[in-house]
Amino acid sequence: MRRFFTPFLFCLLIGLTTWPAPSHTYAQQEAEIPLTRAVLYASGVGFFEHLGEVEGEAQVDLEFSGDDINDLLQSLVLEDFGGGVVSAVTYDSREPLSRTLGAFAIDLTAGATMSNLLRQARGHQIEVSLADGDALKGRIVDVEQRPDPVGDHVIDAEVLLLKTLTGLRSVPLRDVFELRLLDKQLEEDFQKALELLASTRATDKKSIRLHFGGQGERTVRIGYIQEFPVWKTSYRLVLSPDGQPYLQGWAIVENLTERDWNDVQLTLVSGQPISFIMNLHQPLYIQRPRVSPEVQGTLRPQVYEQDLTVDAPAEVRGRFQGKPVRSADPAQRVFAGGGFGGGGFGGGMGGFGESQTPDAPTFDLRQGAAQLAETGEVGELFRYEIKSPVRLARRKSAMLPVVNAEVQAEKLAMYNPDVHAEHPLGGLRVKNTTDLHLMAGPIAVFDEGEFAGDARIAETAPGEDRLISYALDLNLEVKMTAKEPTRSLAAVKIISGRGETVYRWTREHHYVVKNSDDQAKRVLVEQPIDAEWELTSPKSPLEKTRSLYRFSVSAPPGETISFEVVEQKTSREEFLLLSAENDQLAVYMSHNAASPEVQQALSQVSQLRAALQEAEQILQSTLSEISEITQDQNRIRQNMQALDRDSALYRRYVEKFTQQEDQIETLRQRSSQQRKAVASARQRLSNFIEDLNVE
């Protein structure tokens, strides 16, 4: 058995119109290959597998929406068993509309106004019918604008210049009633351009033709990825006081393909494999530079980039290997290897199932194409395999049962003031005791035969539990009171000569729970997590999510209980030992938040600061005395200017002035010593606190 792998690049190349015709002639036999398997993903794509019989030289036509062609070219995989080969894959190319229109004699990509069209047809013969019934034939020279007075205004009027047999005629375009192209080729191009514009707005259906070459009757298989609606799940949870809760799950599937599903084996896959769309259908053109001929025929100097390829063996050996995942039904076996979504076209991706052809080995990509790099598992997705083949007409939807099993559930109430400030929500803690991965979806809850409410559940793996809420519990009332945060001194430190105080902030949330029911209830209280605050009471919550604490409270019937949640955080403030107030230091030295070592260090700092302040006060006193004498000398100097030098008062002022000069001299000598004493006291204080580290 030979197989052929057709990656999207290969499909793109062989679909070009320049692809040479095969050396052999295809038979006119057309084969219909039915859809046998569909794998739907929660990421918005589906994998579809056709399996059927062909005979001799055969061709298979598949029709898709134009938007799906890119997915097909990106993922198409083919197999021809029994010695056959896939000889070609052809499809209609899609050239960019602007490029196609630009190839016509009249380009409709620009503004299709009368004047624009006429300018493009310059030199061609036309016939125009005028509003007055006259008709003219001639060749188009150009369309120009001329000023035309209209009432009190002048407007620019477009005028057609036409070369007739009698001469050059000017025809205002506003007078042209009808225009006919006399050039047959130009008329045909114009008509084709209009038809092309109309066709782009028609229903976009594209055909892919697969050519299988071989002899005799044999099996072929076709697989591809296609954009597809996300499949969804919904659940029903039935509660009973006499037995285990029972969970029923349904998968909601829409068949929006172009064909009916008749006995299709359906697989539903959860998870989020990466899927994207690349435009492979539309040809791409590279903008080439325009180069003028060299006048003297000289060659331009070339610059060559270095080779960045990695050395590799001349022949790539090995095999795409993976781990076969077996299921109870042999028709559901798939190949779980590396590749798209962590499962290639198998495993998590569902992909090609194990061949339904006798003795067909596992999918082998080595036949008919270049070898792929060896890879392994990169992840595993969960899947539901529908045991019975599915029949679903196109454009129809269906609900398929996927879960029917008992689960464990505990009744409780969940209170969150941001959801409802007064009453908690009644709900359940549901544990997935099945062996299935439960997809996220809505749950209709029935309690003792009555509808109790709707809930939503997140994805739940086997053995995990989830909280769900479905009704407001009016028999429970909760009041939450948040107190203003308080601050207290927690520690005093000295780090590298700087003082640091650590304050402890405390905030409390007070909850009061009243149970008016005749049965005891368990309440889960939810409180947001603030990264700045640390929980201190209770020491730990019952549960901690990404954003919430959950605390468990037992509420006896007919009673009111209360509890508190206490959180703390710390803040730090720095102060300078040199400039801190004495009263501030006194508070820190006497506070029990300061260690004995810190208290002793602060005491020494206080003593050294007191010595410095005393020296500064003595110096200040001397400087003040000098200032007073200087001011008195200024007064005497002014008085002496008004006196006779021979008067007794003048001589008295001179004597006093002399005495004051002697005092100033003495005080200045004293202040010099006092300045040294201040500097010495400041140096002792600075040396003490410079490298002081005490906690």
pLDDT of residue 559: 93
Alpha carbon distance 283, 280 (integer Å):
7
For residues 470 and 571, membership in a common domain is answered with no
pLDDT of residue 135: 84
Alpha carbon distance 180, 112 (integer Å):
16
For residues 94 and 173, membership in a common domain is answered with no
Residue 301 belongs to a domain: no
Residue 643 belongs to a domain: yes
Task: Spell out a b/e string for 169-180, using b for 16 or more CB atoms within 10 Å of the CB, else e.
Answer: eebebeebeeee
For residues 85 and 205, membership in a common domain is answered with yes
| Last-in-domain residue among 474, 507, 532 | 474
Higher pLDDT, 168 or 278: 168
For residues 378 and 527, membership in a common domain is answered with no
Is the CA virtual torsion 309, 311, 314, 318 positive or negative? negative
Residue 247 belongs to a domain: no
Residue 253 belongs to a domain: no
Higher pLDDT, 246 or 176: 246
| Last-in-domain residue among 576, 602, 629 | 576
Alpha carbon distance 620, 671 (integer Å):
9
Higher pLDDT, 93 or 437: 437
For residues 206 and 142, membership in a common domain is answered with no
| Last-in-domain residue among 525, 550, 576 | 576
Please state the pTM of the whole predicted model: 0.58
Number of folded domains in the chain? 5
Alpha carbon distance 239, 181 (integer Å):
81
- Give the helix ranges, DSSP H, for 91-147: 97-102, 114-120
Give every CB contact of residue 614 below 8 A, 6+ residues apart in sequence: 681
For residues 429 and 488, membership in a common domain is answered with no
Residue 655 belongs to a domain: yes
Residue 365 belongs to a domain: yes
The mean of the pLDDT values for the chain is: 75
Contact 29, 220 (CB under 8 A): no
pLDDT of residue 115: 78
For residues 133 and 57, membership in a common domain is answered with no
pLDDT at 372 > cutoff 60:
no
Segment 117-132, tens digit of pLDDT? 787 778 888 888 888 8
Task: Spell out a b/e string for 254-271, using b for 16 or more CB atoms within 10 Å of the CB, else e.
Answer: bbebeeebeebbbbbbbb
For residues 170 and 152, membership in a common domain is answered with yes
Q: Is 349 exposed, middle or buried (0-12, 13-18, 19+ CB in 10 A)?
A: buried
Residue 113 belongs to a domain: no
For residues 365 and 419, membership in a common domain is answered with no
Closest to 618 measured CA to CA, from 666, 663, 678, 570 = 678
Residue 198 belongs to domain spanning: 1-107+188-230+259-282+317-390
88-102, 312-326, 542-556, 675-689: lowest mean pLDDT where? 312-326
Is the CA virtual torsion 158, 163, 165, 167 positive or negative? positive
Closest to 185 measured CA to CA, from 141, 120, 124 = 124
For residues 550 and 612, membership in a common domain is answered with no
Segment 273-321, tens digit of pLDDT? 665 556 554 555 556 565 555 444 433 443 333 333 344 344 333 322 3
113-122, 297-306, 446-455, 475-484: lowest mean pLDDT where? 297-306
For residues 160 and 50, membership in a common domain is answered with no
For residues 211 and 322, membership in a common domain is answered with yes
pLDDT of residue 213: 83
Contact 106, 120 (CB under 8 A): yes
Specify the CATH number for the domain of residue 146: 2.30.30.720
Higher pLDDT, 21 or 553: 553
The single-letter code of the amino acid at 626 is: I
